Homo-oligomer: A and B are copies of this chain.
Amino acid sequence: MDIFLKTIGSINDETRLKILHFIDVNGEVCVCDIENSFEMIQSRISRHLKILKDGGFLKVDRRGRWAYYSIRTPLDQFRQSILKEISCLDINIPLLNKGCKVE
């Protein structure tokens, strides 16, 4: 029950739906890419990514000074059905706008 509520709670927010769909569409991205694409402050992005990760939708891979977020694999049937439903919602997401100042 607690895990279910954490999963459901993680997608019960417009900002997180957009970020989740953005990652679903663009694949692996780092935090500053999202920050730059959405024009939101970094702490806000970081918090929502943590909630989506704790909700079981995202995984994070830290390489160098970056944290790369992507859809968790393998993803169970239930979360897959949620992602599919979200992909049908016609959500308005920004274009990927790389935000990293170094490579």
Interface residues of A (CB under 8 A from B): 1, 4-5, 8-9, 11-14, 17, 77-78, 81, 85-86, 89-91
Contacts and interface: CB of A to CB of B under 8 A. Distances in A.
**For the complex of A and B, 5 pairs with smallest distance between CB atoms:** A81-B81, A12-B12, A8-B12, A78-B85, A1-B89
A12 B7 CA distance: 9
Contacts of A89: 1, 4
Copy tally for this chain in the complex stands at 2
A8 to B, nearest CB: 5
Contacts of A77: 81
A90 B4 CA distance: 11
B91 A1 contact: yes
A14 to B, nearest CB: 7
Contacts of A14: 1, 5
A93 to B, nearest CB: 11
Contact of A85 (B4, B11, B12): B4
Contact of A8 (B8, B78, B81): B8
